[in-house]
Amino acid sequence: MITQGQVLDIARDALYTIITVSAPLLLISLIVGLVVSIFQTVTSIQEQTLTFIPKIIAVFVGMILCGSWMLNQLSDFMVKLWNDFGIYIS
């Protein structure tokens, strides 16, 4: 039977995996947003929709570049869960 400590370990590992996998795309989006905001401030362009297209393109490029690493991290986490499945149910 699975204990409370094991549930907490699984939840902790899941949250850590989520944070590490999403961090590159979030950082890319943050950096592009800051660059566009600085550009808007310098040029006095106050168009709110101007940030969306560069962010979307940058996140897609980030997904292309980091996608295989992200998939490997998620796959490793799932393989670890399935390998320990017998421990959790016994």
The predicted-structure confidence for 33-68, as pLDDT tens digits, reads as follows: 999 999 999 998 888 888 899 999 999 999 999 999
Q: Is residue 28 very low, low, confident or very high in pLDDT (cuts 50, 70, 90)?
A: very high
The one-letter code for the residue type at 16 is Y
Across the range 82-86, mean pLDDT stands at: 90
Which residue, 24, 27, 30, 32, is CA-closest to 69? Answer: 24
Domain extents in the chain: 4-89
